[in-house]
């Protein structure tokens, strides 16, 4: 890009406007272009015209549901988390009795949940996944056609890569599940799989370049068979 | 937004609930991991809570402003990571850090505008779409993209311009953008 006034006359500013609105100019170039905009109506018009288009680009990303805990974290950090209303017990029940009742209900809930998760029925089950080529363990929890992959002590993906989840139907190539993940310092991750697992025979994980791939570029390191 | 600026907690909660979905989706697309995406979205909304006064209605909708904030935060996070870990532009994996238009997200309600934008982006010639996505979602500068794709910088900028202009025409035909 050269002098703005000259460029205004020629109506050719080297195409910096598009790179500018995409945020793709180098910092020094962006500063220079901002100064150029003060002088060049053509580039200002082009920036204005393309800004709306770039503002639409976020919608090109697959639309996912945010994690539930994110809301709680943000509202807590801003001090805007609504306080839960406390119920007053209207009748005189000894505190110890309430505690005992609560403990009993908790135990019952754990037992019911455990039974449900450990059963092989359609309501919920836990599938131990095979881990190959890396260390760690993985299990797939399936409930209501949805799945959550729980990994523990898993080797982190190689530098510059992430783990990507794939879903394979019988006889079909693995399809991306739109799920990329890394692991924490202990090799752990709880990974929700947004897609339904109905008709899926295998859930697989491969290391892929950051941003993911459209088809696997590496042999699976985790395979959970649903059939 | 005026209420958010005045510290109205309920107003902030409404804004959060209304826009967190697209914000998280954008951050996830850019950062590639759930944890990083959460951090970026959290930073962006905290910034909104603290500096809501900077929102200028004349410059776009609240959603555009929030998504722009998320985008900047995500680019910062990506570039920090690249600066820390570095990357080898010869790594063919980087050139494959490409669109996710084949990905399945049918599990969630798709909004018409998201479908329309995705379709319009998908209709762009591959080489134009590639530079736009590497720049916008990948956080790469045109110089880095030129290195990754082994193209002259001028070619990269030219493709960005052609692609965005085509995209604008496609979206404006539907009245999606002015």
Q: Does residue A191 lie in a domain region?
A: yes
A58 and B67 within 8 Å at the Cβ level: the answer is yes
Report whether pLDDT(A22) > 90. yes
CATH of the domain at B97: 1.10.10.10
Q: Does residue A117 lie in a domain region?
A: no
| Residue A126 Cα, gap to closest chain B Cα (Å) | 21
Give the pLDDT confidence score for residue A64 in this predicted structure. Answer: 80
Q: How many CB pairs under 8 A join A and B?
A: 235
Q: What pairing do the DSSP bridges indicate for beta strands A130-131 and A222-225?
A: antiparallel
A15 and B85 within 8 Å at the Cβ level: the answer is no
Q: Mean pLDDT lowest for which of A10-19, A148-157, A168-177, B79-88?
A: B79-88
Let me know whether B121 and B176 are in one domain.
yes
Last residue within a domain, chosen from A45, A60, A75? A60
Report whether pLDDT(A222) > 90. yes
Roughly how many angstroms between the first and final C-alpha of chain B, as a whole number? 23
Give the pLDDT confidence score for residue A99 in this predicted structure. Answer: 44
Let me know whether A129 and A212 are in one domain.
yes
Smallest CA–CA distance from A18 into chain B, residue: B161
B160 and A15 within 8 Å at the Cβ level: the answer is yes
- Higher pLDDT pick, B2 / B148: B148
Mutation target vs B (from A64, A169, A187; most B CBs, 10 A cutoff): A64
B70 and A58 within 8 Å at the Cβ level: the answer is yes
Let me know whether B68 and B91 are in one domain.
no
Let me know whether A53 and A133 are in one domain.
no
Share of chain B above pLDDT 90, in %: 21
Q: Does residue A81 lie in a domain region?
A: no
Q: Mean pLDDT lowest for which of A176-180, B23-27, B110-114, B154-158?
A: B110-114
Domain count, chain A: 2
Tell me the three state secondary structure of residue A6.
helix
B107 and A19 within 8 Å at the Cβ level: the answer is no
Last residue within a domain, chosen from B86, B120, B144? B86
Would you list the DSSP string of A180-213?
EE---TTS-EEEEE-S--TT--EEEEEEEETT--
Give the pLDDT confidence score for residue A102 in this predicted structure. Answer: 43
A53: containing domain:
4-60
Instruction: Quote the ipTM score.
Output: 0.78
The pTM (predicted TM-score) of the whole model is 0.56
Question: Exposed, middle or buried, B8 (CB in 10 Å: 0-12/13-18/19+)?
Answer: middle
B114 and A63 within 8 Å at the Cβ level: the answer is yes
A98 falls in which pLDDT band (50, 70, 90)?
very low
Q: Are B67 and B30 in contact (CB under 8 A)?
A: no
Q: Does residue A189 lie in a domain region?
A: yes
Domain count, chain B: 2
Nearest-angstrom CA–CA distance, B5 and A210: 36
Q: Are B138 and B84 in contact (CB under 8 A)?
A: no
Tell me the three state secondary structure of residue A127.
strand
CATH of the domain at A34: 1.10.10.1320
Nearest Cβ partner of B164 from A18, A25, A177? A18
Q: Does residue A96 lie in a domain region?
A: no
B71: containing domain:
1-86
Let me know whether B97 and B149 are in one domain.
yes
A211 falls in which pLDDT band (50, 70, 90)?
low
Quick one: DSSP state of residue A155? Answer: P
Give tens-digit pLDDT for B137-172. Answer: 888 899 988 988 889 989 999 999 999 999 999 888
Nearest Cβ partner of A180 from B13, B33, B85? B33
Nearest-angstrom CA–CA distance, B138 and A222: 27
Question: Exposed, middle or buried, A162 (CB in 10 Å: 0-12/13-18/19+)?
Answer: buried
Give tens-digit pLDDT for A101-158. Answer: 444 434 333 333 333 333 333 357 889 999 998 999 999 988 777 788 888 889 988 8
In sign, the C-alpha dihedral spanning A157, A158, A160, A164 is negative
Q: Mean pLDDT lowest for which of A70-79, A121-130, B29-38, B53-62?
A: B53-62
The token duo for A91 is 């009748």
| Residue B98 Cα, gap to closest chain A Cα (Å) | 7
Let me know whether B152 and B99 are in one domain.
yes
């Amino acid at each position: 890009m050269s002098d703005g006034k000259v460029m205004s006359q020629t109506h050719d500013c080297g195409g910096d406007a598009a790179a500018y609105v995409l945020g793709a100019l180098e910092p020094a170039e962006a500063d220079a272009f901002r100064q150029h905009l003060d002088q060049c109506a053509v580039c200002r018009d082009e920036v204005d015209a393309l800004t709306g288009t770039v503002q639409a680009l976020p919608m090109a990303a697959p639309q996912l549901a945010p994690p539930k805990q994110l809301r709680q974290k943000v509202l807590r950090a801003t001090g805007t988390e609504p306080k839960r209303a406390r119920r007053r017990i209207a009748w005189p029940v000894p505190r110890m009795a309430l505690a005992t009742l609560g403990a009993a209900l908790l135990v019952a809930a754990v037992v019911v949940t455990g039974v449900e998760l450990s059963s092989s029925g359609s309501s919920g089950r836990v599938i131990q996944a095979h881990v190959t080529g890396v260390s760690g363990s993985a299990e797939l929890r399936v409930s209501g056609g949805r799945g959550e992959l729980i990994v523990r002590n898993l080797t982190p993906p190689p530098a510059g890569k992430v783990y990507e989840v794939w879903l394979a139907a019988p006889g079909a190539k693995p399809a991306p599940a739109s799920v990329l993940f890394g692991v924490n310092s202990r090799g752990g991750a709880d990974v929700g799989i947004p897609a339904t697992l109905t008709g899926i025979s295998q859930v697989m994980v491969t290391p892929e370049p950051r941003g993911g791939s459209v088809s696997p570029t590496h042999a699976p390191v985790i395979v959970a068979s649903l059939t | 937004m005026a209420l958010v600026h005045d510290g109205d907690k309920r107003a902030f909660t409404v804004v959060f609930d209304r826009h967190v979905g697209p914000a998280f989706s954008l951050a996830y697309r850019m950062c590639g991991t759930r944890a990083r995406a959460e951090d970026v979205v959290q930073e962006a909304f905290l910034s909104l809570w603290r500096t809501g006064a900077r929102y200028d209605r004349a410059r776009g909708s609240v959603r555009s402003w929030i998504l722009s904030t998320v985008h900047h935060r995500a680019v910062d996070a990506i570039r920090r990571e690249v600066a820390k870990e570095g990357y080898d532009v010869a790594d063919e994996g980087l050139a494959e850090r490409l669109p996710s238009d084949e990905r399945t997200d049918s599990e969630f309600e798709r909004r018409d505008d998201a479908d329309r934008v995705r379709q319009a982006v998908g209709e762009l010639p591959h080489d134009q779409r590639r530079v736009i996505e590497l720049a916008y979602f990948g956080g790469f500068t045109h110089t880095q993209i030129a290195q990754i794709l082994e193209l002259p910088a001028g070619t990269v900028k030219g493709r960005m311009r052609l692609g965005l202009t085509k995209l604008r025409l496609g979206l404006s035909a539907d009245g999606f953008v002015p």
